Amino acid sequence: MTGEEVSGPAGPKVLRLICFVGAGFICTVGINKWREMERRTLMQQQQIKGASDSSSDAIAVRKATK
């Protein structure tokens, strides 16, 4: 042997490349969906917290005006 790899037909190599690119695409889509879910959850938590803060502020104002 001369140290060179024996290369077979190009078909399997192209198929492996397509599978690798496809897996990368699927992972990227999954990561983006996860980030979107996390962002929505944080926004909902902030809205809930904001609503409770504003209602407690309104109560505090009412108490101060009585």
Tens of pLDDT, residues 8-48:
677 888 899 999 999 999 999 999 999 999 999 999 999 88
Q: Which is more confident, 56 or 12?
A: 12
DSSP state of 65: H
pTM: 0.57
pLDDT of residue 57: 54
pLDDT of residue 23: 97
What are the b/e assignments for 21-58, b being 16+ CB within 10 Å? Answer: eeeeeeeeeeeeeeeeeeeeeeeeeeeeeeeeeeeeee
| Ramachandran bin of 3, using left for φ above 0, alpha for ψ from -120 to 50, beta for the remaining angles | left
